[in-house]
Structure formats: C-alpha cells, structure tokens
Structure 1
Amino acid sequence: MARRSVLYFILLNALINKGQACFCDHYAWTQWTSCSKTCNSGTQSRHRQIVVDKYYQENFCEQICSKQETRECNWQRCPINCLLGDFGPWSDCDPCIEKQSKVRSVLRPSQFGGQPCTAPLVAFQPCIPSKLC
C-alpha cells in the first residue's frame, strides 16, 4: 500500500512539473447525505460527477480525484432512559401503621439526557394487622 502511495505522489509531482494537473476541485460535490444514525456515530457521504475524458484517463486522474467522500456524524451518545424493575412481594402488615409495602429497584439509571426515573420505588397499601403494635 505504501508503494502505491509513493507512485501516486510521483505521478502527481510529474503532472504538476509539466504544468498540468487533474483539477479535482473543478468538480462540484453534492450535498452531504443524511446521517445514517441519529446518535452513536453514523456516517454520511457525498459524491461528485467527474467528466472522464482522454486527458483524465491518460493522466490517471481517477487515482487522484475521489468520486466519493464519507465522514462520521452524530457521534454523541444516544439518550438512555431509566428502567425500573418490577415490584417485589408485599411485606407483612406493620401493626403500628397498619400498612404494608413493596419495593422495586432501578435496573438502569438514565444517561446522556434520557428520561429520569420518576415513578416511586416503594408502594404502600393499608392492611389489617394480625398482631398488636
């Protein structure tokens, strides 16, 4: 691969020394395409139409003038929303407050601007105790 790059450089140098070049910048690029992803690093590309004439072929311009470019886009992290687990079983009835509770945990906290956990982690309901306080 390095040898090929050296050959391209020698060819380009020879063309410039002859007062000729491929003038790649004379060929306009299209607009960049939409990014392939909205986050977590997508790609977009653009193209250009190059007139392939005798000069272009004889001077190996296809090796110098690229017809397509690609770049990364939307490299920021995707938002991750909070995820709560299911509630566990109801606890025994607390005779002092006449309530029982159940608990759940946060399985995945929100990150990168995702929706936070807003639902309660503990639920209560009234109960009739089987023991005295």
Structure 2
Amino acid sequence: MARCSVLYFILLSALINKGQACFCDHYPWTQWTSCSKTCNSGTQSRHRQIVVDKYYQENFCEQICSKQETRECNWQRCPINCLLGDFGPWSDCDPCVEKQSKVRSVLRPSQFGGQPCTEPLVAFQPCIPSKLC
C-alpha cells in the first residue's frame, strides 16, 4: 500500500510540475443517494459525472479525480419498542378480597423514543375462595 502511495505522489508531483493536473471540479458530482438505513448508521454515495473528453485525457483526470464518495448517514439509534412477556398462571384465590392475580414482566424496556409499556403488568379477576379469610 505504501508503495502505491509513493507512486501516486510521484505521478502527481510530476503532473503539477509540468503544469498538467486535472481540475476535478470540472466534473460535477451527482446528488447523494438515499441513505441505506433509516437509523443505526447507513451509508450514501455520489458519483462524479465524468465525460471522457480531451481535457480529461490530457490532464490525467483518470488518475487524479476520485469517481465516487461514500459517507455515513442516519447515525441516530433506531427506536426500540417495549416488549412484555406473557402472563404467568393465576394465583390462588385470596379469600379476604375474593380475587386472584397473574403477573407478567417487561422483557425489553422502550429505548430511543420507542413505544413505552402501557399495558398493566398485573391482572386481577374475581374468584370464589376455597378457604376462609
């Protein structure tokens, strides 16, 4: 890789010393492409609109001008919605309140602007106790 860099530098120096170097802005860029992702770091690119004309050939534009650029985009984190587990089994009937309950847990809390957990973690229902209070 270093050898390539040295050769490139020598070629570029020789061209500049001869007064021959491509003015790359002579060939405009296309618009940036759409980002490859809506979040979590995508990429987009653009290409130089090259016309292989006399100027391009005589000024070594092929060797000097980059033909494509790439950049990162949409580096913000993707929203993560809350995820609740399934309810467990119903508890025994509480004779003092004549109710039983079942519980579930949060498997994944919301993050980065995702939908929060809005459903209850505990459910109750009336029951007929088998024991006295």
Instruction: Name the TM-score, length of structure 2 as normaliser.
Output: 0.93
How much has 1:59 moved relative to structure 2? 4.8
> Which secondary structure state, in structure 2, belongs to the residue aligned with residue 63 of structure 1?
helix
Counterpart for residue 9 of structure 1: 9
Counterpart for residue 33 of structure 1: 33
Cα offsets for 1:76-122 (capped at 9, x unmatched)? 11111000000000000000110000000000111111111010000
- Aligned-pair identity in percent equals 96
8 Å contact from structure 2 (residues 39, 74) kept in 1: yes
| Structure 2 gaps, min length 5 | none
| Structure 1 gaps, min length 5 | none
How much has 1:125 moved relative to structure 2? 0.3
Aligned length: 133
How much has 1:57 moved relative to structure 2? 3.7
**Deviating runs (4+, > 6 A) in structure 1?**
none
How much has 1:56 moved relative to structure 2? 3.3
- Measured in 2, the distance between the counterparts of 1:126 and 1:95 equals 10
Cα offsets for 1:36-62 (capped at 9, x unmatched)? 100011110111221223553455422
- Measured in 2, the distance between the counterparts of 1:51 and 1:22 equals 13
RMSD: 1.4
- Choose 1-10 or 111-120, whichever is displaced more: 1-10
How much has 1:128 moved relative to structure 2? 0.7
- Measured in 2, the distance between the counterparts of 1:49 and 1:120 equals 58
> Which secondary structure state, in structure 1, belongs to the residue aligned with residue 8 of structure 2?
helix
